Amino acid sequence: MDRLQRFRVPIMIALTAAVGVVIFAVLRPAPAAPIITVTLRPTALASPTPEAPSTILVYVSGAVKNPDVYSLPPNSIVKDAMNAAGGPTDDTDLDQINLAAPLSDGMQVHFPRKGEPAAPSGPPSSGAPAGAPININTATLEELDTLSGIGPVIAQAIIDYRQANGPFTSIEQIKDVRGIGDALFEKIKDRITVGP
């Protein structure tokens, strides 16, 4: 019995240590998972824009190889419409067309033949006598279209310009409209006015 008493304390210490090791092993936290670094590449987001059309439809008629309705990218010009229609024919009068004029959805571009007037001349809707100067501040698209070298595209550009900038104060100011240069101005200056 004395012998047992003598080893009692060391046995208790050993048992306590063993229990402590077991408890530590069971309750110890799991090793942390390795840290993984992921680098994300930014992607370009489409900037919110008003519903811009992805294409515009333009009716190309007259002296081109394949007159038809064509789907063109936005910001296309008359030359793009001509090329889409297979190009001009041998008798196309390109002097009457501004190939650099911008196009818009639903527009018609007519390529006249040599000797053909730029636009059919109907009676002006304002009741102005034939040959009377056209007031570029009040003229309709059809009236502007009767001017030599001014087709529907440039006529619309004139209307858009005056709506955005107010009435023209002189006939020379029409040269500020996209598509009207000095040469075209010389052709129409005697047929236009800004007066009543």
- For 30-34, what is the mean pLDDT? 59
- For 169-174, what is the mean pLDDT? 92
Based on its alpha-carbon atoms, the radius of gyration of the chain, rounded to whole angstroms, reads 41
User: 179: alpha, beta or left, given left = phi > 0 and alpha = psi -120 to 50?
Assistant: left
Name, of 11-15, 20-24, 175-179, the range with top average pLDDT: 175-179
Sorted by where each begins, the domain ranges of the chain are: 121-196
pLDDT of 123 > 50? The answer is no
pLDDT of 186 > 80? The answer is yes
Higher pLDDT, 27 or 136: 136
Whole-model pTM: value is: 0.39
CATH superfamily for domain 121-196: Photosystem II 12 kDa extrinsic protein (1.10.150.320)
Average pLDDT for the chain: 78
- Which residues touch 61 (CB under 8 Å, ≥6 apart)? 67, 108, 109, 110, 111
